[in-house]
Structure 1
Amino acid sequence: MIGMGKSISHTGASLGYGWNEEKDAKVVYREHLAGDNPKELTQEFKLIQTQNHRCKKNTLSFVLSPTIEDGKELKEKELKEITERFIKEMKLKERQAIAFVHQDKSHRHIHLYVNRIGFDGKAYKDNYIGKRSQQAAEKVAQQMGLTTVREVQQEKLNEVKNVRQEIKQIHEKVITEMKPKDFDQYIRYMKQNDVKVVPSISKSNQLRGFRFEYKGQNLKGSEVHRSMSMGRIAERIGFDKNIAKKIAKENTVAMLGKTVGLLPNLVTTITKKAFRIAVKKTIGLGIEI
């Protein structure tokens, strides 16, 4: 579950958004409020807020978002409990407050509004309120057996790690088994294995690297593995000697129907590799004679 919080000055508009019937909003919690519509609720908030004219952002706005899977299982009673526990963790009890659940989308979430001004006229201290909201939501999730932010983050990290490994394996297969002779072939062979390779071209039309799209992830080559930087990939592609000569002369390469510029170090990498291959072939032919 994710928790977000901030202080706001637009109380009426926010309460109107919370009560939005188009979002199938339902009140799941209310404290020290009797109003039946946003206008009445705003007036009740303002009645207390008039005790403190110095505080301009006098309403606290929170959003509590369980994961999609958790949200599907939560009943109204449990959504109320989430709100009550969150208010307790934030030390906001005995204040005017109202919470709505929005369920217009598959991702159910709670909008909670609390009067920042207490009945004693004092303003609730809102320093680091965003961070404190995250921490409070994390504690509530743990208390109620819901998925925490850390668990979601770890799951995403594991997913990215698996995708990186799969892209690397496909890359190795393409390089060692399919042996591409230029960037176009490399891109085509990777696509045949469900990996989309997207060249990164600078504004000055120079090839900077490749990005890899696979299973919903979009990663730079260096993010996949250090061996998949632009230079490392170029080292392992078997460019033809004549193509390499042209690249060395023009500092450009034909790719995906366009001509793009190459950085000097990449040109050197390509030409050295091509000539090494050519020398090996010549030596091999000499031995056979």
Structure 2
Amino acid sequence: MIGKGKSIAHTGTSIDYGWNQEKDAEIVFSQHLAGNSPQDITEEFKLIQEENTRCQKNTLSFILSPTQEDGRNLSKERLGELTQRFIKEMQLKERQAIAFVHRDKAHTHVHLYVNRIGFDGKAYNDSFIGKRSQLAAENVAKEMGLTTVKEVQMEKEFETTKVRLEIKDIHRYVMDSIRPKTLDSYIRAMQERNVEVIPTINRANKLQGFRFQYEGHNFKASEVHRSMSGGRIMAQLSRNNGIAKPKEIGKSVQLLGKTVELGTNLATSIAKNIIKKTVKRAIDTGIGI
């Protein structure tokens, strides 16, 4: 679950948004309030806020977002419990508050509004409220057996690692088995295996590198693996084409029927990688003698 929080000045507008019936809004929590319309609630907030006119951002606005799966399974009552626990974590039990659930998007989420001004006229300290909101949401998620942000991040990292490895394996197969000699043939071979190679062209119409798109993920070439940087890919294509010396590398390349110049950094990287491979081959040959 994700928790976001901030102080706002537009109390009435925000509560009206939270109560928006077009978003299938339902009240899941309310404390120290008697009204039954956005206007009534706003007026009740203002009665207390008049005790502290120095505070301009006098309402606290929070969004509590469970994961998609958790959100689908949370009843109105459980969402109310979630909100109540969050309020306790944030030490806001003695303040006016109202919360609405919105189920209009894939993610069920709760909009919570709390009067920043207490019954004693003092303003709630909102220092680092964004970070504190996230920590409170983490604690509530653990207490209620819901998925935490850290768990979501771990799942995403596992998924992206898996996808990167698959792209790397496809790239290696294409380079080792098909051995394309041109950039276009490499792009086609990768596309036939559902990996889209996206050339990165700068404003000067020069090729700088590549991105890879696969199964809804999009990575820079070097993010997939360091062996897949633009310089290494182009160097290997050059070697497949019989080019073994940096001085033989052209300043441009054919890309989808057009001639595109190589960016300076990419050209330098290609030359360095050809030199490294040549030196390595020489060393390996010498060791084999």
- Distance apart, 1:233 and its partner CA: 0.8
- Structure 2 distance, partners of 1:272, 1:230, is 10
In the alignment, residue 240 of structure 1 is paired with which amino acid?
A: N
Alignment partner, residue 209 of structure 2: 209
Q: Is the 8 A contact 1:248 1:271 kept in 2?
A: no
Distance 1:105 1:96, change over 3 A: same
Alignment of 1:213-252 (within 5 A): 213-237=213-237, 238=239, 240=241, 248=249, 251-252=251-252
User: Any idea what SS the aligned residue of 2:254 has?
Assistant: strand
- 1:17 equivalenced with 2:7 (yes/no): no
What does 1:258-277 align with in structure 2 at a 5 Å threshold?
258-264=258-264, 266-267=266-267, 269=270
- Residue of structure 1 in register with 2:6 after alignment: 6
Correspondence for 2:113: 113
Change (3 A) 1:166 1:5: same
Query: Which position in structure 2 is the counterpart of 1:34?
Result: 34
Q: What SS class does the counterpart of residue 83 from structure 1 fall into?
A: helix
Q: Does 1:166 align with 2:166?
A: yes
Cα distance per residue 1:229-281 (max 9 Å; x no partner):
01111122145359x999845x11111122111135654747995xx99xxxx
**2:85 maps to what in 1?**
85
CA–CA separation in structure 2 for the residues paired with 1:150 and 1:245: 47
Structure-to-structure mapping, 1:66-215, within 5 angstroms? 66-215=66-215
TM-score (ref. length: structure 1): 0.90
In the other structure, the counterpart of 2:43 is 43
Moved segments of 4+, more than 2 Å: 238-242, 244-249, 263-273
Aligned-residue sequence identity (percent) comes to 59
- Residue number in structure 2 paired with 1:257: 257
Q: Which amino acid aligns with 1:7?
A: S
55-64 vs 106-115, greater mean Cα deviation: 106-115
Distance 2:103 2:217 in 1: 28
Q: Secondary structure at 1:259's aligned position in 2?
A: strand
Query: In the alignment, is the contact (CA less than 8 A) between 2:179 and 2:240 conserved in 1?
Result: no
Alpha carbons 1:60, 1:114 under 8 Å: kept: yes
Q: State the SS of the aligned residue for 1:113.
A: strand
User: Are the counterparts in 2 of residues 247 and 253 from structure 1 also a CA contact under 8 Å?
Assistant: no
Helix, strand or coil: the match of 1:45? helix
Q: Are the counterparts in 1 of residues 232 and 273 from structure 2 also a CA contact under 8 Å?
A: no
Distance 1:74 1:179, change over 3 A: same
SS of match in other structure, 1:159: helix
Matched, 1:61 2:80: no
Contact 2:48 2:118 in 1 (8 A): yes
Residues 119-143 of structure 1 show CA distances to partners (whole Å, capped at 9, x for unaligned) of 0000000000000000000000000
**TM-superposed deviation, 1:95:** 0.6
Q: SS where residue 17 of structure 1 aligns?
A: helix
> How well do the aligned residues superpose, as a CA RMSD in angstroms?
2.3
Equivalent AA in structure 1 for residue 18 of structure 2: G
Report the Cα distance in structure 2 between the residues aligned to 1:22 and 1:120, rounded to whole angstroms: 36
Name which of structure 1's ranges 69-78 and 8-17 shifts more when overlaid on structure 2.
69-78
Alpha carbons 1:239, 1:270 under 8 Å: kept: no
2:56 match: secondary structure: coil
Partner Cα distance (1:110, 1:52) in 2: 28
**SS of 1:188 mapped into structure 2:** helix
What is the number of equivalent residue pairs in this alignment?
275
Distance in 2 separating the partners of 1:267 and 1:35: 69
Cα distance 1:101–1:267, how it changes in 2: closer, same or farther (>3 A)? Answer: closer
Q: Structure 1 residues 194, 272: closer, same or farther in 2, change over 3 A?
A: closer
Contact 1:95 1:119 (8 Å CA) reproduced: yes
Change (3 A) 1:266 1:8: closer
Conserved? CA contact 2:209–2:229, under 8 Å: yes
What is the DSSP-based 3-state SS (H/G/I as helix, E as strand, rest coil) of the residue aligned with 1:41?
helix
* Structure 1 residues not aligned, in runs of 5+: 278-289
Question: 2:198·2:212 contact (CA, 8 Å) conserved in 1?
Answer: yes
**Which runs of 5 or more residues in structure 2 are unaligned?**
279-289
Q: Letter of the 1:104 partner, please give it.
A: D
